[in-house]
A = this chain, B = another copy of it.
Amino acid sequence: MSRTDDPREPFEAVPQTFSPRTDLAVEAHELARAAAPNLRGIDESVEELENFRITRVHVRTVEGARAIGKPPGTYITLDVPGIRRRDPALQDEVAAHLAKELQQLIDIPEDGSVLVVGLGNSHVTPDALGPLVMNRLFVTRHLFHYMPEAIGEGYRTVSGVAPGVLGITGIETSEIVQGIVEHVKPDLVVAIDALAARSLSRVNATIQIADTGINPGAGVGNKRKALNRETLGIPVIAVGVPTVVDASTIANDSMELLLGQLRSSVPNNGATKIFDQFSPEEKWQMIREVLEPLGDNLMVTPKEIDEFIDDTAHVVAKGLNLALHPGMTSEDADVLTH
């Protein structure tokens, strides 16, 4: 959860106006198109499958990137509402599709090596996805060193770390990862993170893969904190699952819905102007007033979050294991995904 990844740290510049936070390109694209229907530089295609939908967003230009606040690259979203029902057969299907999509983004040799970075705070349930996935990975780097004969064909050199969050380590995550990358020298980094969605319907029901890495406050600068090819010198694939919605998004949505109802209930003779009177600054002020005194520190999350996080971590870890080790079968993955 890049913008607010640590409860103890209020360092982010406070924005002056509200825009609903989303870490999902597919939602950012939707918002941007609503604001600018002629938006260019972004392609989106949707594939409908029996149990889920795969949306591929390609941000092709800097203009497109600016419009959605995400750097140019490919963003693939698997929407699987059914995954909330904890159906192992569906989980296996999702893991297989996740592996397939990941493999298409992984552009390293068959014997290339991969470092998986589990971002987030393992002590805050909805932020623990990264460390949980990392713990379930089948890491092999030490096996290649100590007992190479034990590893079969089609297994890559995989290692992993859970670097912790700034408020607990005092160190930017990117500094830690850079230090490790310089020593481990992987050909690829895969970063796992819990995300914030704009829509409650996507919480615990969506997996996003991106070949752009992790770019907190993208577009706004803040390059120091990024985990991407520019900062690490190697490709970075990001895998994320939304586990929360910002409380401010709920507040904003409530106001927007109400304004919409008011507009539609008043004769369209100019009186509706009063509903457009609020400046973005005023709206943001109202949202902050509703959320006093806990403000940005609030998260909206389903009560079953503990179970969801565990299930989701298993699915992501299995998909990742399959993608990183082309020689691994689904049965192998069941044994090796802890």
Please give the residue numbers on chain A whose beta carbons come within 8 Å of chain B beta carbons, in ascending order: 4, 7-9, 11, 81, 85-89, 122-125, 127, 134-135, 139-143, 146-147, 158-164, 166-172, 175-176, 178-184, 200-201, 203, 247, 250-255, 257-259, 261-262, 265-266, 271, 274-275, 277-278, 282, 286-287, 289-294, 297-307, 331, 334-335, 338
Q: Could you tell me the distance in whole angstroms from the C-beta of A81 to the nearest C-beta in chain B? A: 8
The 3 A-B residue pairs whose C-beta atoms are closest, nearest first, are A179-B179, A139-B170, A141-B170
In the bound complex, how far is the Cα of B142 from the Cα of A147, in angstroms?
A: 40
A-B contacts besides A124-B303, A298-B301, 16 pairs, CB < 8 Å: A7-B307, A86-B335, A87-B334, A123-B135, A134-B168, A142-B170, A159-B169, A160-B168, A160-B170, A175-B184, A179-B182, A247-B250, A251-B253, A254-B258, A257-B286, A261-B278
Chain B positions within 8 Å of A266 at CB level: 274
Nearest CB in chain B to that of A9: its residue: B142
The answer to whether B200 touches A184 (Cβ under 8 A) is no
In the bound complex, how far is the Cα of B170 from the Cα of A142, in angstroms?
A: 5
Contact of A258 with B261 at beta-carbon distance under 8 Å, contacts A292-B201, A306-B124 already known: no
Nearest CB in chain B to that of A331: its residue: B89
Nearest CB in chain B to that of A301: its residue: B299
Q: Out of B161, B250, B258, which one reaches A250, CB within 8 Å? A: B250
Nearest CB in chain B to that of A291: its residue: B200
The answer to whether A11 touches B142 (Cβ under 8 A) is yes
In the bound complex, how far is the Cα of B186 from the Cα of A179, in angstroms?
A: 13
Q: Could you tell me the distance in whole angstroms from the C-beta of A27 to the nearest C-beta in chain B? A: 15
Chain B positions within 8 Å of A124 at CB level: 303-306
Contact of A257 with B9 at beta-carbon distance under 8 Å, contacts A171-B141, A251-B250, A262-B274 already known: no
